[in-house]
Amino acid sequence: KAGVTQTPRYLIKTRGQQVTLSCSPISGHRSVSWYQQTPGQGLQFLFEYFSETQRNKGNFPGRFSGRQFSNSRSEMNVSTLELGDSALYLCASSTRQGAGGGANVLTFGAGSRLTVL
Amino acid sequence: SQKIEQNSEALNIQEGKTATLTCNYTNYSPAYLQWYRQDPGRGPVFLLLIRENEKEKRKERLKVTFDTTLKQSLFHITASQPADSATYLCALRRDDKIIFGKGTRLHILP
């Protein structure tokens, strides 16, 4: 079956602009999580969506937002871009929400590489 | 706050030898711990999961141990090959989210 699809793969923006990234999870996966990856900080959790509701949020400013649609596809938006937002943004889907006693194994997309100039 | 520590220095191992990577965590007792592999320009790929009541888990040439007393997991690749060269990340669930260590870059030298 098809994996997690992220678009666009690469994009360049300038400071102050906004960007929207898209993620299509594996069919049947209802949970979508977003991560920011930078060389200095590694993988940092942004947020998780399950059944169109944000279930968890990391320590990022309000400029970072997201949403999930009824077909489980998710988007994240970053407004008023800063140079420090340059990173690889990774989306991961799973069959489980983060809460609950079961194991939550993530399937990642290839990421969207954002460069802010 | 929760910390996951992995050796940030690259690890160089001769082909055919066993590579051992370390993951230490603090301030928490996770129900399970996961290991992922990441190649340059790609997203992480899940490899193994080990639960707190399991001491060891194996999959082909991979072996993971989990010592909840030491708060440490070890990841072993036996008979290592150049194709095993990648960054390896450990992850655990905390506060209903999966958090990751920064990863260890492994180079298998031919």
Q: For A7-34, how does the pLDDT look when each residue is reduced to its tens digit (9 = 90+)? A: 999 999 999 999 999 999 999 999 999 9
**Residue A32 pLDDT:** 95
Cβ under 8 Å to A: B residues 26-55: 31-32, 34, 36, 41-46, 49, 51
Q: Any CB–CB contact under 8 A between A34 and chain B?
A: no
Closest CA to A26 of A111, A113, A108: A108
pLDDT band of A52, cuts 50, 70, 90: very high
Is residue A103 scored above 90 in pLDDT?
A: no
| B10 close to A (CB below 8 A) | no
For residue B33, the model assigns a pLDDT of: 92
pLDDT class of A101 with cuts at 50, 70, 90: low
Q: What is the pLDDT of residue A98?
A: 54
User: Which residue in chain B is spatially nearest to A31 when comparing CA positions?
Assistant: B97
Give the pLDDT confidence of A62-87 residue by residue, as tens digits.
Answer: 999 999 999 999 999 999 999 999 99
The residue type at A27: S
- For chain B, which residues score pLDDT lower than 70? 1-2
- What's residue B61's pLDDT? 97
User: Which residues of chain A make contact with B49, given a CB cutoff of 8 A?
Assistant: 103, 105
Q: Which residues of A71-95 are buried (b: 16+ CB within 10 A; e: fewer)?
A: ebbbbbebeebeeebbbbbbbbbbe
- Choosing among A36, A105, A113, which should be mutated to test the B contact, i.e. which has the most B CBs within 10 A? A105
Residues of A in contact with B101 (CB under 8 A): 42
Facing A42 at nearest CB: one of B32, B95, B103 = B103
Q: What is the mean pLDDT of chain A?
A: 93
Beta bridge partners of B32: B51
pLDDT band at residue A2 under the 50/70/90 scheme: confident
Residue of chain B with shortest Cα separation from A49: B97
pLDDT recorded at residue B15:
97
The mean pLDDT of A57-61, rounded to a whole number, is 94
Res A99: pLDDT: 52
Query: Which member of B41, B98, B101 has the closest CB to residue A104?
Result: B98
* Residue of chain B nearest A100, judged by CA positions: B96
pLDDT at B2: 62
| Helix or strand run (H / E) with residue A85 | none
pLDDT at residue A106, rounded to an integer = 95
Higher pLDDT among residues A45 and A40, named by residue: A45
